[in-house]
Structure 1
Amino acid sequence: MNFRFQNLLGAPYRGGNTVISNNTVLLSPIGNRVAVTDLLKSETTTLPIQSSSNVSLIAVSPDATFLLTVDDRNRCHFINLRRRVLLHRISFKHRVAAVEFSPDATLIAVAAGKLVQIWRSPAFRREYFPFELVRTFADFDAKVNSLDWSPGSKYLIVGSKDLTARILCLRKLNSGGVKRKPFLLLGHRDSVVGSFFCVNSKSNRVFRAYTVTKDCYLFSWGFTSDDDDDDESDGGEVGEGAEPPSPGTPERDVEGNLEVSERDGVKKRKRKSVDVVEDGDEAYLSRGKWQLLRKDGFMQGSARVTACDYHRGLDMLVVGFSNGVFGLYQMPDFVCIHLLSISREKITSAVFNELGNWLTFGCAKLGQLLVWEWRSESYILKQQGHYFDVNCVAYSADSQLLATGADDNKVKVWTLSSGFCFVTFSEHTNAVTALHFMASNNCLLSASLDGTIRAWDLLRYRNFRTFTTPSSRQFVSLTADQSGEVICAGTSDSFEIFVWSMKTGRLLEVLSGHEAPVHGLVFSPTSVVLASASHDKTVRLWDVFDSKGAVETFTHTHDVLTVAYRPDGRQLACSTLDGQIHFWDPIDGLLMYTIEGSRDIAGGRLMTDRRSAANSTSGKFFTTLCYSADGSFILAGGSSRYICMYDVGDQVLLRRFQITHNLSLDGVLDILNSKNMTEAGPLDLIDDDNSDIEEGVDKQTREKLGFDLPGSLPNRGRPIIQTKCLRIAPTGRNFVAATTEGVLVYSVDESFIFDPTDLDINVTPEAVEESLRENQPSKALILSLRLNEDSFIKKCILAVSPADIPAVATSIPYKYIQRLVEALADLLENCPHLEFILRWCQELCKAHGNSIQQNSRNLLPSLKSLQKAITRIHQDLADTCSSNEYMLRYLCSSVTAEYHLEMATVNLCKIKQHFDVV
């Protein structure tokens, strides 16, 4: 039961900005979560913290300690990135378009609507209101799009949709009693989507600025200091209005002191402000003039700028366009270094890493995430998820690989340890509906609505066999027997089951009898009996090898949606449309018991529902079932936000997993809020797009051209949360769920849980340490196993000398074997002492081989975890040995060549001497 969320696969990127911290760690939003990818180790994980809706903006502090996320509902999370815990929350009143930490990490600049707000950055300590508003700038006439800090955290350059860019000073500056005016950069003909400071590397001062507009133009601005005439107007490009007061909040300086204000003739006594200071060295940017140096066009035709970033150290600019092209430019001469097309859709994110040698690009519509090294023109990371719903998943026999099939006609294979997809098969021409891994791990089967069953070779990455029918059929279920000789697939149109030979590819048989689509198909793990579930309210058992008719038929009162065999083959579970799970004895043909699950899976109402989730009858049934590795519990999921775990023996609900809290998906809320209901329907379904804005015009144009049909996306494109497929790993250590958000991976919580066995007053950590000091490894190991603390168990295992392993392994009682095997599997994954751990495994098998064989069912998850670790290390060693072998061959051949060359040189010298003598 101790499962917790570990990772999210199938969708590496879905929109928002991406950030690289510590030069090699990539952070990208995935729905309402954030994925963390280590580009050096090639591993990706997902933070367990969820936002209330899809994350649209992220920002990382300069020291990579804090992470700030903002979702579509303007709710902000302040996260300790290293501990992966949520520290603080805050909600902004306006739509947030940009957010950025100051270089000294003490302040946070937030572009909220037409305002630029400066907040004091919270810390680790718990506070009642950790976010403190320092200052608000209300100088803009339209939405703010971009922000950039100066190196000293004193100035901001801000780009807006009102065709202007402003340079704001955090402190109010006085010069002869006259307040300084904000610099205003004019001349743009479209909204400013990027604004950046250029810094002199020697003096660390700003001397140039760049602004990028949406209509594909780059403006270069130069700064000239004017220390002689401070009161002079700041040039034609500088605004002449005084800075307006901040609306709604009192002005505060960086130290938090309130300023003196006078309004409507009433004086309010406040503390003396230090926010208004005299011009000093820190105010160098306020003394001088800004002027336009040059204006350059990107020459991309009708394309628009959708993403841009600037690297100060290299003085380079990267720009992404709406046609999928990106450009890399060397400034200030605007020299184009690269201009490449990397996607069919617009680039929504483009960012440099700290060193500037890697570029990160994201395409939200296609789910693409790329990290490209521009000097060598090579990919560091190239991932693309499914951009439609994932329908099916399948584990390999060793639990190391995971295959996914989706509505985008693609089959992807992922490495679970790294979270990366390493191969994509796209030969199917319609949605992939079912997957099955063969026992050899080198073959994967996939079924599709295009009427084909394809076999994929995972060594050569090719489709080596295709199974078809005389007339085209839509396959919705797939399975194969234990030997891998027979393949069976069920259809949704002809209601038949087709049987092929794996070796010859010939169609052997067509099993008829069902009167509705066959959505469930599974072979018995211990025999050649095939079980099929259909919407005709029956489950049929077939003997594929001996007869053509059904051996047994189990009748139900409602449509049967799916079927699953227990791993020992002695029980069959199937779910029906009334929300019940029926358990049958396939040998005697008797109904064992039934679980009523409609109340357990109920939860979540759609926006179109006129009643709450408790009174709704839709979706209260299970569409996917999966037994655990030992058959003790079963997982069930369906058109709900919940996954239910039931105890098979006691028929009770053990736990419910809520797969998401994302309000951007439909079916998450339970209660009907009447204030959101109008005569025209729910407020969320009313199209309130302003046709005057550019996005509205583009939307109408696409509808006229037929790209986006009006009404084709229900709920304004909001997907409905559901679980389409559940699978438990053969090791029993994790399970996956194919949901609307992607493939969720849940694993056993490896953190310490105090669950002692045979605990008495003498079993203490001190007793374990004392036994180790007295050189009693057997006693220390048994005490640590009784204490059941992972760190002590591993410490005692490593403390045993290799010569004493056989004696210690023999002294371990059998009831502690499972816990010891789990510790050995974990050590094998993370410990460098490979031979030492393998020696432990060997001696345990010698000492307790008979007991392990007799109770293999209970030890199966632990043993498969150990097998998985051994297999992975074996593959790594095989690759290393092969590489070393080729290297040695090369070196030997090189040494031989050098020897022959040296001998030839000696002979030539002797010949030369001979001729000299002659």
Structure 2
Amino acid sequence: MNFRFQNLLGAPYRGGNTVISNNTLLISPVGNRVSVTDLVKSQTTTLPTHSSSNISRIAVSPDGTFLFIVDEKSRCQLINLHRRITLHRISFKNPVSVVKFSPDGSLIAVGEGKLVKIWRSPGFAKQYFPFELIRTFANFDGKITALDWSPDSNYLIVGSKDLTARVLHLKKLRSDVTYKPFMLLGHRDSVVGAFFGVDKKTNRVCKAYTITRDCNILSWTFRSEEGDINKMDDEGSEPPSPGTPDRDVEGKIEIDDNNNNIKKRKNYDGKDAETRYLITGKWELLRKDNFMQTPAKLTACDYHRELDMVVVGFSNGVFGLYQMPDFVCIHLLSISREKITTAVFNEIGNWLTFGCAKLGQLLVWEWRSESYILKQQGHYFDVNCLAYSPDSQLLATGADDNKVKVWTVSSGFCFVTFSEHTNAVTALHFMASNNCLLSASLDGTVRAWDLFRYRNFRTFTSPSSRQFVSLSADQSGEVICAGTLDSFEIFVWSMRTGRLLDVLSGHEGPVHGLMFSPANAVLASSSWDKTVRLWDVFNGKGAVETFPHTHDVLTVAYRPDGRQLACSTLDGQIHFWDPMDGLLMYTIEGRRDIAGGRLMTDRRSAANSSSGKCFTTLCYSADGSYILAGGSSRYICMYDVADQVLLRRFQITHNLSLDGVLDFLNSKNMTEAGPLDLIDDYNSDMEDGVDKQTQMKIGYDLPGSMPNRGRSIIRTKCLKIAPTGRSFVAATTEGVHVYSVDESFIFDPTDLDIDVTPEAVDAALKEKQPTRALILSLRLNEDSLVKKCIFGVSPADIPAVAASIPYKYLQRLIEALADLLENCPHLEFILRWCQELCKSHGNSIQQNCRNLLPSLKSLQKAITRIHQDLADTCSSNEYMLRFLCSSGAMK
């Protein structure tokens, strides 16, 4: 039961801004969670912390320690990235459009509605009021859209929807001084980006760039009283500037009566004039350039100070890279036809990150070599089905966007996408060879995919067009079966020839569940006609057994040993059958366990509503001791099969942006036109928004259910447990949730006495008693001690120590060896341990394979991965040696 959330697959990016920390860590929002991608190691993880709604803005501290996230409800969290925990929380009154840490990391600038608030950044210490408000600027007439810090953290340049940009000074002046911010005028649309430019010699601000939504960039220069920082060629004739008049720091402006222009500014003799150099001067417009992308709108931009380069993204999917201040176009390319919602440089400036919220796509592009560092795209619509590979290393997903994706579980990366299907993918199945994947779709085809050559090598079809919703294959991989939605038949094909062998008829409703018995060639099918049928496929006898129910049967699953069959019905019950004798063993009533969550359109409360209180997916554990069940609810239930008791409920999300999360709705949100959250008052022309889509689900669903015409409803469509038993995945509305066994130390005192202590383990190792030390560490069940004792055994003593291990500690020892194989370099030593354990305990392993199956699968997964890595390395070395030998022979 010790499972915890580990990762989220299937939706890398759904909107908001992205940031890059420490030059290689890409941080992006994923719904109400945050995903961190290591661009060097090619690994992605999702932080366990979550917000109450979708995250809209994120910012990371300069040293990469703190992460500041803001959701759509203006609730903010300060997260320690290294410890992956939330330190502090704060809520704002107005929507937050932009947030950014100062270069020294001590301050946080927040654009809250029409206000700019400067907060002191909290530290690690727990405080009653961790956030301290330093200053508030309320000079704007429109929503804040962009801001940037000066290198010394004393100035801000802020862009707004009021068509202006302002330069703000953070430190307060004397009480007799009335300082007004500089205004940069001349924009004809809202400002999307505002950035400071610096003089590389003095590291002082000497210029600025403002980028507007109508595809214009304005270059500004700063002239101080001591002399112009950027000296103009003709100092006598200065072009007219649309900037603000030069204001005296004391609020006085000297006017020349002859030409009504500014004549002179009084000097300010301050104590720290070094930090107030931008006060005594004026801003001038140097040039105005257009990106020539009309009628498209500019939606994202970023500026790199060291390289003096600007990257911009447009609503038509085009991005451009420009060298400033001469406005030289370096690259102008198109990555899609949809709006680019984020564009950002890394710290060095050699990588560009682009995000498209509508496609769920993230790209990291190296602009010098014009190559991709990262190219990930999630499923556009909900994930319908999942399949684990036999070695638990790969995970396949199929969705309503007609695509099949294969992911590496350890890294969280998708390495291949198959898009040959023309309708929603409804079922997946991995063959025992681990190199072949089957997929069924509503387009009337079942396709076989080669994971070596990444191609569709076989397609199975029916004589007339059918919609397939279930799929299974026998243990030998010779026969493929698929159930239909419309004709209520089961089609049987030969995997070798691709020919249609048989059509099994008898069901009177859609066949949504299909599975071969692991013990024999009997096929079990479940249908909405309230029956579960067993079929003898190879002998062609048709249905050999029928199990009737009182309600529609939604899914079916075999226990791994084939001696038990579980099926769920529309009334919320799970029935367990003995497939050999055809008897009902017991029933679990799960209506109250899965109940929870009220939809916005429900007229009844969650307690009184009967809709959705049923399980649509079931999955047995590797040893068959427990079963996972999920459905149209925010809960996943884990039941003990032998005792029929609920062990644990997993709440898959707390995201209030989804429907069906709350048990009680606020009556204040109900209007005459319906729920307030479902009223579409969204301005689709906003530059920083993500187009809301009403996803009309026209297709298969539960009998009698209505498609959701509002927000996405939280549900679990598929559950799969890894063959190793160490993790399970759930296909939910938010994506694919990955849960793994918590590796932290679990204290089990059932086999302890006063002499079993860590000190006793160390004493046994010092006395050269490796067997006693290993058994003591296994009784303590502490991972670090077990591994320490394994390495404390000399290679010559491994056979004797392995033979003396009691059977009850065998599973724990195999799990430790599997973990060492994946993380330590001593391969020969660990493989010797595995070999001797198999020799000494071969008979015990065969007799109790069901109990040891999860740990053995974990060991197989680790050995398979190492074998693949070594094979690739040897092939590369062999090719290099042949090349060197051929080069030497030519000389």
Mapped partners of 1:782, 1:612: distance in 2: 55
| Per-residue deviation, 1:694 | 5.7
- Aligned partner of residue 398 in structure 1, secondary structure: coil
Call closer, same or farther: CA 1:654–1:794 in 2, change over 3 Å.
same
Q: Note if contact 1:139-1:243 (Cα within 8 Å) is conserved in structure 2.
A: no
- Aligned partner of residue 278 in structure 2, secondary structure: helix
Determine the structure 2 residue equivalent to 1:411: 404
Amino acid at match of 1:158: V
Superposed, 1:114-263 pairs within 5 Å as 114-174=114-174, 177-227=176-226, 237-238=243-244
Determine the structure 1 residue equivalent to 2:857: 864
Mapped partners of 2:687, 2:4: distance in 1: 40
Unaligned runs of 5+ in 1: 245-275, 704-712, 899-918
Mapped partners of 2:97, 2:612: distance in 1: 37
Determine the structure 2 residue equivalent to 1:332: 325
Q: Note if contact 2:242-2:285 (Cα within 8 Å) is conserved in structure 1.
A: no
Call closer, same or farther: CA 1:813–1:304 in 2, change over 3 Å.
same
Amino acid at match of 1:295: K
- Aligned partner of residue 140 in structure 1, secondary structure: coil
Mapped partners of 1:151, 1:625: distance in 2: 56
1:343 paired to 2:342: no
Superposed, 1:544-555 pairs within 5 Å as 544-555=537-548
Determine the structure 2 residue equivalent to 1:295: 288
| Per-residue deviation, 1:60 | 0.5
- TM-score, normalised by the number of residues in structure 1: 0.90
Mapped partners of 2:859, 2:680: distance in 1: 55
Mapped partners of 1:748, 1:639: distance in 2: 25
Superposed, 1:647-686 pairs within 5 Å as 647-686=640-679
Q: Note if contact 2:379-2:401 (Cα within 8 Å) is conserved in structure 1.
A: yes
| Per-residue deviation, 1:381 | 0.5
- CA offsets 1:663-721 (integer angstroms, 9 cap, x no match): 00000000132222233322212334469x76899999x99xxxxxxxxx987752000
Amino acid at match of 2:244: V
Determine the structure 1 residue equivalent to 2:884: 891
Amino acid at match of 2:434: N
Q: Note if contact 2:678-2:711 (Cα within 8 Å) is conserved in structure 1.
A: no
Call closer, same or farther: CA 1:634–1:699 in 2, change over 3 Å.
closer
- CA offsets 1:622-657 (integer angstroms, 9 cap, x no match): 000000000000000000000000000000000000
Mapped partners of 2:818, 2:880: distance in 1: 32
- Aligned partner of residue 628 in structure 2, secondary structure: strand
Match of 1:854 among 808, 828, 847: 847
Structure 1 window deviating more from structure 2 (765-774 vs 730-739): it is 765-774
Q: Note if contact 2:341-2:688 (Cα within 8 Å) is conserved in structure 1.
A: no
Q: Note if contact 1:485-1:501 (Cα within 8 Å) is conserved in structure 2.
A: yes
Call closer, same or farther: CA 1:161–1:310 in 2, change over 3 Å.
same
- Aligned partner of residue 286 in structure 1, secondary structure: coil
Call closer, same or farther: CA 1:570–1:791 in 2, change over 3 Å.
same
Amino acid at match of 1:617: S
Determine the structure 2 residue equivalent to 1:830: 823
Determine the structure 1 residue equivalent to 2:730: 737
- CA offsets 1:186-213 (integer angstroms, 9 cap, x no match): 0000000100001112211000100000
Q: Note if contact 1:235-1:289 (Cα within 8 Å) is conserved in structure 2.
A: no
Determine the structure 2 residue equivalent to 1:778: 771
Amino acid at match of 1:499: V
Amino acid at match of 1:774: E
- CA offsets 1:303-337 (integer angstroms, 9 cap, x no match): 11111001111111100000000000011111000
| Per-residue deviation, 1:742 | 0.4
1:628 paired to 2:628: no
- CA offsets 1:204-240 (integer angstroms, 9 cap, x no match): 10001000000000000001111499xxxx9751268
- CA offsets 1:149-190 (integer angstroms, 9 cap, x no match): 001100000000000000000012359x43322110000000
Call closer, same or farther: CA 1:481–1:715 in 2, change over 3 Å.
closer
Mapped partners of 1:714, 1:695: distance in 2: 30
Determine the structure 2 residue equivalent to 1:70: 70
Match of 2:791 among 789, 798, 803: 798
Q: Note if contact 1:182-1:239 (Cα within 8 Å) is conserved in structure 2.
A: no
- TM-score, normalised by the number of residues in structure 2: 0.93
Q: Note if contact 1:757-1:787 (Cα within 8 Å) is conserved in structure 2.
A: no
- CA offsets 1:42-62 (integer angstroms, 9 cap, x no match): 111100111000111111100
Amino acid at match of 2:718: C
Call closer, same or farther: CA 1:227–1:460 in 2, change over 3 Å.
same
- CA offsets 1:120-145 (integer angstroms, 9 cap, x no match): 10111111110111110001000000
1:762 paired to 2:755: yes
Determine the structure 2 residue equivalent to 1:427: 420
Superposed, 1:445-594 pairs within 5 Å as 445-594=438-587
Call closer, same or farther: CA 1:698–1:871 in 2, change over 3 Å.
closer
Determine the structure 2 residue equivalent to 1:38: 38
Mapped partners of 1:809, 1:359: distance in 2: 53
Call closer, same or farther: CA 1:391–1:698 in 2, change over 3 Å.
closer
Q: Note if contact 2:384-2:731 (Cα within 8 Å) is conserved in structure 1.
A: yes
Amino acid at match of 1:583: F
- Aligned partner of residue 770 in structure 1, secondary structure: helix
Mapped partners of 1:734, 1:774: distance in 2: 39
1:401 paired to 2:394: yes
Determine the structure 2 residue equivalent to 1:905: none
- Aligned partner of residue 607 in structure 2, secondary structure: helix
| Per-residue deviation, 1:807 | 1.6
Superposed, 1:802-821 pairs within 5 Å as 802-821=795-814
Mapped partners of 2:106, 2:80: distance in 1: 15
Superposed, 1:348-387 pairs within 5 Å as 348-387=341-380
Amino acid at match of 1:100: K
Amino acid at match of 1:46: T
**Greater than 4 Å deviation, 4+ residue runs:** 239-244, 276-279, 693-700, 713-717
Mapped partners of 2:707, 2:170: distance in 1: 46
Amino acid at match of 1:132: E
RMSD: 2.2
| Per-residue deviation, 1:23 | 0.5
Mapped partners of 1:190, 1:398: distance in 2: 56
Mapped partners of 2:249, 2:586: distance in 1: 76
Structure 1 window deviating more from structure 2 (38-47 vs 776-785): it is 776-785
| Per-residue deviation, 1:799 | 1.7
- Aligned partner of residue 619 in structure 1, secondary structure: coil
- CA offsets 1:831-888 (integer angstroms, 9 cap, x no match): 0101010011111111111111111111110010010000000000000000000111
Call closer, same or farther: CA 1:242–1:365 in 2, change over 3 Å.
farther
Determine the structure 2 residue equivalent to 1:23: 23
Q: Note if contact 1:174-1:277 (Cα within 8 Å) is conserved in structure 2.
A: no
| Per-residue deviation, 1:569 | 0.5
- Aligned partner of residue 62 in structure 2, secondary structure: coil
Unaligned runs of 5+ in 2: 229-239, 251-268, 695-705
- Aligned partner of residue 179 in structure 1, secondary structure: coil
Determine the structure 2 residue equivalent to 1:253: none
Mapped partners of 2:227, 2:9: distance in 1: 61
| Per-residue deviation, 1:765 | 1.1
Q: Note if contact 2:572-2:613 (Cα within 8 Å) is conserved in structure 1.
A: yes
- Aligned partner of residue 614 in structure 1, secondary structure: coil
- Aligned partner of residue 605 in structure 1, secondary structure: coil
- Aligned partner of residue 194 in structure 1, secondary structure: strand
- CA offsets 1:251-271 (integer angstroms, 9 cap, x no match): xxxxxxxxxxxxxxxxxxxxx
Amino acid at match of 2:472: T
Mapped partners of 1:51, 1:159: distance in 2: 28
Higher helix share: 1
| Per-residue deviation, 1:810 | 1.6
Q: Note if contact 2:17-2:58 (Cα within 8 Å) is conserved in structure 1.
A: yes
Match of 2:299 among 297, 306, 322: 306
Determine the structure 1 residue equivalent to 2:86: 86
Mapped partners of 1:65, 1:150: distance in 2: 21
Structure 1 window deviating more from structure 2 (744-753 vs 166-175): it is 166-175
| Per-residue deviation, 1:895 | 2.2
- Aligned partner of residue 797 in structure 1, secondary structure: helix
Mapped partners of 1:697, 1:896: distance in 2: 63
Amino acid at match of 1:223: F
